[in-house]
Chains A and B, each alone.
Chain A
């Protein structure tokens, strides 16, 4: 009897082991040679050049995966969730889009002219563009879109895209309800529309790049009620000009896009694109099996899964730098309790944080963090398995203004860090193994970080141990969830010294002032450097900044200043890793999106 029991147990044990081994096999027998670092380049597995077929075939369905369901707001002016963009990128369009170099290129507008003062930009629109319901797209739709975002009720109804309308002429009066007349965007005729700005606008195309919604659908709905209107929520009711229509959904599970036969750039080859919401843990299996055809940002392929997915053989992987980075910030100043209570951001009242106010000390800390160690050199190393980059200035590398050489590169050098700290008088006087400040007081840096990004969470203790190796005492505190962490960062009449945070940048314009301007709310370091302020203003100041080269020079200088004064150390920029099944043809991945011209996608096996 006893032995029987053991058999059952043994059998179950074997079963579990078998499962674990089967799951591990894939990872352990990889070649271990793929150490190349593609810069926006594809690693295509079947090197056939895909010129062997006669041409695009019509029909077919492809399936994409996203890891979290959209919140359900399919109105471009109100959505906030990146997952809704997965649908809206196919259904809606803007006057302009961006090419691989992030230059604006024609989309719904075929050409444009800026006046000499850069206070007006006039677009000539494509004619014959049809909305999904067959109505024609005109300049009045453009006017309506911007008017809706400028509406006095827009923000209260949950809208956040006001930075597209604040530069417009007459916006302040209109949003305050002082006038009914909207003069910022004017339709000169059905196919010509003019944007007028309060003052010369250095980035007029960015302002005009917002997604257009149909006037004939929304004109009778008050802006305050647009979010709850079925035209914003329900498949079949959501109307855009894009190559695909949003026709059906099983809420939180799948979202079905069908081709828009009257699409102005030509009918799409594919019949359908189906988005499925799948758990990240099972996505790779479904990708291998062909149940999922493509996956891209946000999320993409986890760095640890890269080698496994590239071994599948039927998958093309696109790896390139992401528009974002992780930083370890230095709280250079704290606000006063009164300012925190009133919400004022007044640099004159800021209290310097003595522990980190010496830039040399910040530099020493930068030298002592092994950033390459966080990224790793390849599979199984570091947090990113080598799938990331060390960047030194807070501007996305894809932008024309990013200059690798402008910024100081803090390569891991603990000896140099120790030397700097010694020179600055931070030495261990009481023999506890940690340095004291020049006055001989205890020097302990508080280190806070949020949960929500697993790799970032795991980086905190590694950084702590790096700092302790050079004798800096770190008080690593318990991580907090984002909802609780951000108020702590914002209301900074506290003892925060070091903090971790990640930023996702816009691909539209490189201007970093939203994050690093002295008075910017997101300047959590409370970095107050008059020179930086001056340069950031110069980078947007008319008329010099109309010239790209001028801006590039200014931002180059600013990047250098940033890296020397170090309000934050940029830890790494994780690579975006996208993947698609080789049966899909015609995908042209760009730096900021994989969904450029989806009407040209087609599949080999279309019937």
Chain B
């Protein structure tokens, strides 16, 4: 098992290298550079930007620039942002990544808490009122665009009723300890719901069909026949088997979670990696693009590795040697 994990991790290195070459090539192939998208200011002499390009080495050939980037990353230096003058890439990412992770986990938590019990219930009582209701609700969540749901939630729950803050991640810097924690959770409710609702339908439908599938299988009939209680059948036999596709989904989710939720982040002004990534692509902020692409690459690879490991925990028949 450990050997397997180490082997998998070693494979990451060439994959990430290949990823970085592709992303670097694509980023450079896009027309323009960090200075062409700046607001055109008639009071700034365009020659100034020429000099800054040269200072950043943007006038060198692309392979040369790539080698320069790789060698500094190998030394652990992701460089400085071009758009955010004076800021290192690490500091920009560090500032955003915690927001993204908290929000991602919070919304995933909402998704799972809502989706799994409802999925199980729907599978055990198919075509019941609650099953139909849950299905409608799930597809409603899937069909309503995130930004629209977010705006409606802000309008009703924040502006009209005043239950939740409309924007941001925290009320002020002066909070600390438990007060800060509850304040952050309070800020996370609306964006978390918005984001979580969208994922609910997928998980719920998966859970429902998997449980129904397993419930109809021979070993469940055997278990029931030998007098096992419904509870035991459900928890010991059904759920374990039904969880496998859910784990696959969550493995993907792990990478997507770091990618952030651009629209939700914008509507709620919840600064996360998604908006930073989009902004850096629009502004051609190469060092930031590359760092986030690598981060996402690592997250997706690790997510899949974790999923593989969880398979063997959930289903002892799956072994890696």
Contact = CB atoms under 8 A, between A and B. Distances in A.
Contact of B136 (A5, A232, A285): A5
Interface string A268-305: 00000000111101100110110100000000000000
B86 A73 contact: yes
A483 B33 CA distance: 7
B135 to A, nearest CB: 9
Interface string B165-195: 0111110111000000000000000000000
Contacts of A248: 172-174
Given A233-B86, A282-B166, A484 B271 contact: no
A279 B83 contact: no
A249 B271 CA distance: 14
A504 B132 contact: no
B166 A286 contact: yes
Nearest to B44: A160
A281 B173 contact: no
Contacts of B46: 521-522
B85 A12 contact: no
Contacts, number: 177
A227 B40 contact: no
Interface in B66-99: 80, 83-88, 95
Nearest to A252: B271
Contacts of B95: 251-252
Query: Which of A278, A343, A483 has the most CB atoms of chain B within a 10 A radius of its CB?
Result: A483
B26 to A, nearest CB: 14
A72 B49 CA distance: 20
Nearest to B55: A156
Contacts of B140: 12
A251 B127 contact: no
A286 B55 contact: no
B156 interface: yes
A590 interface: no
A78 B169 contact: no
B43 A163 contact: yes
Contacts of B173: 248-250, 256
Interface residues on B, range: 35 or more
B32 A227 contact: no
B127 A285 contact: no
Interface in A48-71: 69, 71
B284 to A, nearest CB: 6
A236 B37 CA distance: 32
Contacts of A521: 45-47
A244 to B, nearest CB: 17
B38 interface: yes
Interface of A is mostly: mixed
A162 B42 contact: no
A22 B83 CA distance: 41
A492 to B, nearest CB: 14
Interface in A301-354: 343
B161 to A, nearest CB: 11
Contacts of A158: 52, 85-86
B22 interface: no
A5 B132 contact: yes
Contacts of B282: 481, 483
Given A1-B127, A73-B84, A163-B45, A486 B268 contact: no
Question: From DSSP, what is the main secondary structure of chain B's interface residues?
Answer: loop
A550 interface: no
A46 interface: no
B48 A162 contact: yes
A514 B44 CA distance: 9
Nearest to B50: A343
A486 B36 contact: yes
B152 A19 contact: yes
A522 B42 contact: yes
Given A250-B173, A282-B154, A285-B154, A503 B42 contact: yes
B20 interface: no
A486 B32 CA distance: 8
Contact of A484 (B32, B44, B85, B133): B32
Given A12-B140, A250-B172, A279 B266 contact: yes
Given A12-B136, A228-B87, A279-B266, A254 B155 contact: no
A276 B40 contact: no
B156 A156 contact: no
B31 A504 contact: no
Given A279-B266, A483-B37, 11 more contacts: A8-B132, A71-B85, A72-B84, A155-B48, A160-B41, A163-B43, A249-B173, A277-B168, A291-B166, A490-B36, A501-B40
Interface of B: 30-33, 36-52, 55, 80, 83-88, 95, 127, 129, 132-133, 136-137, 140, 144, 147, 151-152, 154-156, 159, 166-170, 172-174, 266-269, 271, 282-284
Interface of A: 1, 4-5, 8-9, 12, 16, 19, 22-23, 69, 71-73, 78, 80, 82, 155-163, 166, 226-229, 232-233, 248-254, 256, 276-279, 281-282, 285-286, 288-289, 291, 343, 480-484, 486-488, 490, 501, 503-506, 508, 514-515, 521-522
Closest 6 CB pairs of A and B: A227-B86, A483-B37, A483-B32, A521-B46, A514-B42, A484-B31
